[in-house]
Amino acid sequence: MPNRQPVIAPTIAVDAMGGDHGPSVVIPGALEAAREDGFALRLVGDQSLIEAQLQGLDLTGLDVDVVHAPEVAGMQDKPSDVVRRKKDSSIHVAVSLVKNGQADGVVSAGNSGATVACGMFIVGRIPGISRPALASVMPTAKQPMILIDVGANVDAKPRHLLQFGLMADIMAHDVLGIQRPRVALLSIGEEEGKGNVQVKETFELMRASSLNFVGNAEGRDVFTGDVDVVVCDGFVGNVALKLSEGLGQTMGHVLKREITRTWLGRLGTMLNMGGLKRFARIVDYAEYGGAPLLGLKGIVVVCHGASNVKAIMNAVKMAARFVRQRSIAHLEQELAKDPGLAAGNDATHKNTAGAV
Q: Residue 305 class from Cβ within 10 Å (0-12 exposed, 13-18 middle, 19+ buried)?
A: middle
Binder of its own copies out of 1, 59, 247, 329 (CB under 8 A): 247
Closer residue to its own copies (CB): 8 or 271: 271
Subset of residues 201 to 230 that bind its own copies, contact rule: CB under 8 A: 218-224
In angstroms, what is the minimal distance from the CB of 325 to its own copies? 28
Binder of its own copies out of 41, 83, 178, 186 (CB under 8 A): 186
CA–CA gap between residue 73 and residue 78 (Å, rounded): 9
Could you tell me which residues are beta bridge partners of residue 292?
301
In angstroms, what is the minimal distance from the CB of 298 to its own copies? 25
Binder of its own copies out of 7, 9, 259, 343 (CB under 8 A): 259
Looking at the chain, list the stretches that DSSP marks H as alpha helix, in order from N- to C-terminal side: 23-37, 47-54, 79-84, 90-99, 112-118, 158-174, 197-207, 234-259, 263-271, 273-283, 309-324, 327-337
In angstroms, what is the minimal distance from the CB of 302 to its own copies? 14
Instruction: Please name the residues in contact with 187: beta carbons below 8 A apart, sequence gap of 6 or more.
Output: 194, 195, 199, 203, 216, 217, 218
Contact (CB, 8 A) for 163 and 127: no
In angstroms, what is the minimal distance from the CB of 187 to its own copies? 8
Contact (CB, 8 A) for 286 and 308: yes
Strands 299-302 and 105-108: parallel
Closer residue to its own copies (CB): 48 or 196: 196
In angstroms, what is the minimal distance from the CB of 188 to its own copies? 4
Residue 238 makes contact with its own copies by CB under 8 A:
yes
Residue 111 makes contact with its own copies by CB under 8 A:
no
Residue 279 makes contact with its own copies by CB under 8 A:
yes
Binder of its own copies out of 100, 143, 250, 345 (CB under 8 A): 250
The one-letter amino acid code at 347 reads: A
Could you tell me which residues are beta bridge partners of residue 299?
105
Closer residue to its own copies (CB): 88 or 258: 258
CA–CA gap between residue 11 and residue 101 (Å, rounded): 10
Subset of residues 280 to 339 that bind its own copies, contact rule: CB under 8 A: 282-283
Subset of residues 144 to 173 that bind its own copies, contact rule: CB under 8 A: 151, 154-155
Please state whether the peptide bond connecting residue 149 to the residue before it is cis, i.e. omega within 30 degrees of 0: yes
The window from 12-20, 99-107, 118-126, 244-252 that contacts its own copies (CB under 8 A) reads 244-252
Residue 15 makes contact with its own copies by CB under 8 A:
no
Q: Which residue ranges make up the site for its own copies (CB under 8 A)?
A: 140-141, 151, 154-155, 186-189, 194-197, 199, 218-224, 232, 234-236, 238-251, 253-255, 258-262, 264-265, 267-276, 278-279, 282-283, 352, 354-356
